[in-house]
Amino acid sequence: MDSALSDPHNGSAEAGGPTNSTTRPPSTPEGIALAYGSLLLMALLPIFFGALRSVRCARGKNASDMPETITSRDAARFPIIASCTLLGLYLFFKIFSQEYINLLLSMYFFVLGILALSHTISPFMNKFFPATFPNRQYQLLFTQGSGENKEEIINYEFDTKDLVCLGLSSIVGVWYLLRKHWIANNLFGLAFSLNGVELLHLNNVSTGCILLGGLFIYDVFWVFGTNVMVTVAKSFEAPIKLVFPQDLLEKGLEANNFAMLGLGDVVIPGIFIALLLRFDISLKKNTHTYFYTSFAAYIFGLGLTIFIMHIFKHAQPALLYLVPACIGFPVLVALAKGEVTEMFSYESSAEILPHTPRLTHFPTVSGSPASLADSMQQKLAGPRRRRPQNPSAM
């Protein structure tokens, strides 16, 4: 997980910026302000809309859109798993050819990016299809075994509208694969972030505090304690970060002096903010106090990160500033309103997610609406079967 915010405008290329043999000229104040403002806006969009979609996702009955719930045990293990993954990537880049590793990663994220972007734009695209559009239903089904032992590996239903969205997303995918253009990178990064906030659910506030606290230590250690995260981010050519050029005003779309923000700094606070939105709804007071408080706290924390980074001219672990803000502000509001007990006793999975599975593996592209919902109901009513393995979530 890349979760450092970097600023290469001082001539260096930290945390993933492209390297040159010559020092870049310093960016203009206007270019820097535009880059930082754009990064902030790009971070806020998937959090806001992903949180809203997480509520609909939690209340929905489609098995294809069932969220994955993170428990306290998952949260405690996550920083360890992330550290092992980060160190493993670091060793891979040191031992093996960076070119071949990035080729494999590019193909992997090419597929994931297309699927994530298709899922993201599908609700918006459906509004543009006319009522007379010839929409046909399709099904992709893979099973294992026979008779009563038959298990569904993939049961993916889709329609013509889904194919159109997939085709449009594939154009972006090819553009990214061939050019590695920063706009294509950001389209994939925004799609990954929105899907993460929408589909990854914390089961309660305590779990969120464990997850954010653990990743707070993870982020600080790997950014300030070693050069591992910066080295991996430099070498890792994948849409795992949002970027914006600071020399856009001078060079246009071919600009290459990037400020960047790791997707971990969007998704991790984002799923906590989405949890607080669902908590607001559970209070049935027709207010979103905790959601707006945490959203404002995120803006404050990220703004402080950018300010500190700009002053010290060094990549910053954004979670160092985001975690205290995103946890502290809502807790202070709860103390003022006398709702601390309600906040920490709220169970998202019990309130509106009665049948949400635990996050025990990485979920996959699983498919669609009707048949998967029927399939889930049959599984709940019939003999217990092994849950399909889903390898595709971020």
Closest alpha carbon to 16 in 185, 179, 174: 185
Cβ neighbours around 370 below 10 Å, total: 14
Using alpha carbons, list the distances in angstroms from residue 32 to 37, 194, 259, 309: 8, 26, 8, 12
CA distances from 41 to 8, 38, 298 (A): 19, 5, 12
Dmax (CA) of the chain:
69
Active site residue 74: no
Beta-bridge mates of residue 241: 262
Backbone torsion region of residue 360, taken as left when φ is above 0, otherwise alpha when ψ lies between -120 and 50, otherwise beta: alpha
Do the Cβ atoms of 294 and 326 come closer than 8 Å?
yes
Per the residue annotation, which of 65, 219, 247, 280 is the catalytic one? 219
Which one from 74, 247, 265, 280 is the annotated catalytic residue?
Answer: 265
Q: Which residues contact 166 (CB under 8 A, 6 or more apart)?
A: 114, 115, 118
65: nearest Cα among 382, 376, 368, 371: 368
- Indicate if 7 belongs to the active site: no
Distance, CA of 355 to CA of 381 (rounded, Å): 13
List Cα–Cα distances, 4 to 1, 248, 355, in angstroms: 9, 22, 35
CB 381 within 8 A of CB 354: no
DSSP assignment of 334-368 equals HHHHT-HHHHHH-BHHHHT-TTPPB--S-------
CB 292 within 8 A of CB 300: no
Active-site annotation, residues: 219, 265
